[in-house]
Amino acid sequence: MEIIDCNLDEFVWYQVQKHDTLNSILSKFNATSNCLIRNNPNIDLYEGEMVKIVKQCTITHIVKPMETLDYIAQRYNTSVEKLISLNNLSSKRLFVGQTILVNNK
């Protein structure tokens, strides 16, 4: 389970360009797909479409049975090292129900 907390006061509107892709827009604004989709549920990425890009978005993940840092890192397209750093972890061991900060933008 993930929890997304976006500061909706800090956003910009972006007009989709002809060759834009989801990844190119995310990269341009250093945004996450979860926040982009959450704030633009009917996004089609057609040329001229206006999308809301939230500048501040925090994603946390609640650990489920059998999940590892490797799995969580892969799921959110980040690294184990970043997860360890963000959460001040001293080991890779996780516990069911533990809340892991995935991104802090």
Q: What is the pLDDT of residues 96-105, one digit of tens each?
A: 999 998 875 5
> Phi/psi at 55 (nearest 5 deg)?
-80, -30
Q: Regarding predicted confidence, which is higher, 7 or 83?
A: 83
Say yes or no to pLDDT of 7 above 80. Answer: no
| Residue with the two structure tokens 């929890």 | 3
Tokens found for residue 50: 């206006």
Please state the pTM of the whole predicted model: 0.58
pLDDT at 81: 94
- Walk me through the domains of the chain, giving residue ranges and CATH numbers: 2-55 (3.10.350.10), 58-104 (3.10.350.10)
Q: Is the pLDDT of residue 58 over 60?
A: yes
Between the CA atoms of 12, 15, 17 and 20, what dihedral angle is there, to the nearest 10 degrees?
Answer: 50
d(CA 52, CA 36): 7
State the average pLDDT over residues 3-27. Answer: 80
